[in-house]
Structures are given as C-alpha cells and as structure tokens.
Amino acid sequence: MGIRDDTERLNLSLDSLVGGRSVWFVPDVRLIPGLVWVVFVLGGSILTMVLYSFMVDPLSGDFTITFEFYREFFSKALYRTVMIDSLVIALKTTLGTLLVGYPLAYYIAVHSDHRNLLLLVVIAPIWINEVIRTFAWMLILNTNGVINYVLVDLLGVLDDPLRLMNTETAVVIGLVHPLLPYMIVPIIASLLRIDFSEIEAARNLGATKLQAFYEVTLPQTVSGIAAGATFVFVLSSGAYLAPVLLGGSGNNMIANFIGLMFSEGQNWNFGAVLAVIYSAVIVVLFVAVGLVGDLELGGATDLEGDQ
C-alpha cells in the first residue's frame, strides 16, 4: 500500500518531466538547452553590464560599489541631450514609417488580390544586410548621389546640389526604410480584422470615403498602429549604423555613445550606465504602452530582422 502510493506519487511527478503536459515548475527537459542559452548568455550579459554600471572593475575582482558613474551621467547635460535627441529621432522615424507605411498596408489589406505575395515583398527587405542598405542610401543622398543627379544634372531644377548627407533627415530616412515592414505588418493584421460591411454601412449613411475611413476604419487600426509604433520606436532609438554612416559626427545617437565607451573610450563603467539608463527608458515605455492599450505584439514578433 505504502510502496504503491509512493510509486504513484513518483509517477505523477515524472509525468510532468517526461511526456506530460502539466508543467508546474519542472519544464520539459527539451527546453533546458534553450533556457540555459537565454538565461545564461543573455542574463549573464545583462547582469555583468548592470554590475559594471556601479562597480569599478568587477572583472579584476574590484567589487567596490559606487554611484559615481550615475552621478556623472546626471551632472552632464551632454548625455541627457543625446538621450533626448535619440528619442526625438526615434519619434520622427516612427511618424515617418506610419505616414509612409499606412497607405501601403491599407492597399495590401483592402484591395490586393495578391495579398500574400505583396506581404512577402514587403517583408523580404528585412533580411537584406543592413550595412548594404545603409550604403545604398549613401549612394542616393551623397552630394554626387542619385537625388542630386536627378535634380541638378537631369532635371536642372537646382543649380547647386543639396546637402543631404550628414543630416538628421538622412538618419531618419535611413531608419524609416528598414523599419517600414515592422509598421506595415501589424497594421495589415488589424485591418484584416475589420468587418468591411461597417464601412459600406457608413457610406450608405452618406459618409464620403475619407469620412468613412476616419470614423470607422482608422479607430479600429489603433492597436495595429500602436504595436507597429512600439517596434519602430524601440528599434530606431537604439540605431547604430544609420547615425554613423548617414548622420556623420554631428548626429550621433545613444547607441553610438554607448559603443564609443566600449571601444576607444574604454570607459566601460560609464558605457554601462548609459546602457542601463537607455534600457530603463525602453522598459518604462513598453510598460506604459502596455498599460494604455493591450498590445498584440505577437503578429509582428515573428518577422523580426536585423537592426
């Protein structure tokens, strides 16, 4: 009796380990390598980074705790400005992707007979190397690039070439381009959920196309816009390549400063502080957006790319 009970209990707990589906706190064994990878490598990276933000040199065993690096951040206006500038560029990029992306999303969702093919066409550039993509924009925006060739040499609209490179605009364009799919896909998803007989109804009631869009369609895609905007904002705020290659020395963003601290500057502590504060801003943003509207980020998580 007693032995039987014990074996049953053992069987029960083994159930969750082996084929069973009821997971309480022992995960399926097959998850373990992946979990170790995420928890150990990602967790380890973030933990050591956080440690560096308030310990002088933990790598060589100096675990003295100091908040001097944080104090340095808050005492220097430069870094605050960079942080804010980065967020402003991210905001402009987000608005840019929304304005450029929404019409295409609308077209694909509502009109297209080849929806899946077009979706693939929109998503495919995500997989193209981002260095090459940024390089392409250099070819276009340069003083002797494509745009100036068209405006000055071909059409003769301008006498002198435009200075497009090494401006904030160039950075924003260089970010809107790779991030468009992240805005378009969630919007398409939300458009596809709309019952279009509602729009017919609104039109029957005398609304013009624009009115019907503004009163019926647009409000129902807010969740898609919010999801897309969150993705684009987060990804663009942490941009590294576009500011360096298209923005020049005057348009560095937060990621460039963080990177700088870990290469030539060799001030790991301060770099870690920047990284921690930047992460905190992003987390707060995520939480805030999550509180305001329940985001459906699922739709877009499976199309991530580089950035």
Partner 1 sequence: MTEPILSVTDLTKSYGRTVAVDDVSFEVENGEFFSFLGPSGCGKTTTLRMIAGLETPTSGSIEMNGEDLTAVPLHERDVSMVFQTFALFPNKTVGENVGFGLKMDRVPKAERRERVAEYLDLVDMPGFEDRDPTNLSGGQQQRVALARALITEPSILLLDEPLSSLDLKLRKNMRFELKRIQDELDTTFIYVTHDQDEALSMSDRIMLLNAGEREQVGTPQELYSRPASEFAADFIGDTNLFRGAVARTNGSTASVELRGLSTALESVRNPIGAREGDSVVLSVRPEHIDVSTASSGQVVGQVETVTFYGNSTRLLVDVDGERVLVEVGGREGAVSLERNQSVHLQFDSDRAALLEA
Partner 2 sequence: MSPSFSALLGRVDVSDRTAGRLQRAVAGGVLAFLYLPILIVILLSFTPERNPSFPMPGLSLKWYEALVENSAFTDAIVFSTKLAVACAFVSGFVGLMAGFGLARTAPSGGFLDERKLRILFSLPIIIPFIITGIGGLVFFNVLGIYGSFTSLLVGHVMITLPFTTLVIASGLSGLDESVEEAARNLGATQLRAYYEVTIPMIMPSIVAAMLFAFILSFNNFVQTFFWLSFTDQTLPVLIYGRIRLTYDPTLNAVGTVLIVFSLVVTVTAERASKRLLT
Binders of partner 1 in range 3-22 (CB under 8 A)? 4, 8, 11-12, 14-15, 22
Among 186, 224, 228, 238, binds partner 2 (CB under 8 A): 238
Query: Is 224 a residue that touches partner 2 (CB under 8 A)?
Result: no
- Interface residues for partner 1 in 15-74 (CB under 8 A)? 15, 22
Among 83, 278, 295, 299, binds partner 2 (CB under 8 A): 278
Query: Is 215 a residue that touches partner 2 (CB under 8 A)?
Result: yes
Residue 20: exposure state from Cβ atoms within 10 A (0-12, 13-18, ≥19):
middle
Chain centroid to Cα 173, Å, comes to 16
| Other Cβ atoms within 10 Å of 277 Cβ, number | 19
Among partner 2, partner 1, none, partner that 17 touches (CB below 5 to 8 angstroms by kind): none
Query: Is 128 a residue that touches partner 2 (CB under 8 A)?
Result: yes
Among 7, 45, 81, 204, binds partner 2 (CB under 8 A): 45
Query: Is 3 a residue that touches partner 2 (CB under 8 A)?
Result: no
Binding residues for partner 1, total number by CB under 8 A: 7
* Encoded tokens for 177: 């381009």
Nearest to 138 by CA among 167, 98, 97: 167
Among partner 1, partner 2, none, partner that 8 touches (CB below 5 to 8 angstroms by kind): partner 1
- Interface residues for partner 2 in 80-119 (CB under 8 A)? 100-101, 103-104, 106-108, 111, 116-117, 119
Among partner 1, partner 2, none, partner that 70 touches (CB below 5 to 8 angstroms by kind): none
- Mapping DSSP onto H, E and C, the string for the chain reads CHHHHHHHHHHHHHHHHCCCCCCCCCCCHHHHHHHHHHHHHHHHHHHHHHHHHHEEEHHHCEEEECCHHHHHHHHCHHHHHHHHHHHHHHHHHHHHHHHHHHHHHHHHHHHCCCHHHHHHHHHHHHHCCHHHHHHHHHHHHCCCCHHHHHHHHHCCCCCCCCCCCCCHHHHHHHHHHHHHHHHHHHHHHHHHCCCCHHHHHHHHCCCCHHHHHHHHHHHHCHHHHHHHHHHHHHHHHCCCHHHHHHHCHHHCCHHHHHHHHHCCCCCHHHHHHHHHHHHHHHHHHHHHHHHHCCCCCHHHHCCCCCC
The mark string for 163-202 relative to partner 1 (x by CB under 8 A, - otherwise) is ----------------------------------------
Among 17, 88, 139, 222, binds partner 2 (CB under 8 A): 139
Among partner 2, partner 1, none, partner that 11 touches (CB below 5 to 8 angstroms by kind): partner 1
Radius of gyration of the chain (CA): 25
Q: How far is the CB of 74 from partner 2 (least distance, A)?
A: 20
Among partner 1, partner 2, none, partner that 234 touches (CB below 5 to 8 angstroms by kind): partner 2
Q: Which stretch binds partner 2 (CB under 8 A): 71-79, 158-166, 188-196, 210-218?
A: 210-218
Q: How far is the CB of 30 from partner 1 (least distance, A)?
A: 18
Query: Is 52 a residue that touches partner 2 (CB under 8 A)?
Result: yes
Query: Is 282 a residue that touches partner 2 (CB under 8 A)?
Result: yes
Q: Which residues bind partner 1 (CB under 8 A)?
A: 4, 8, 11-12, 14-15, 22
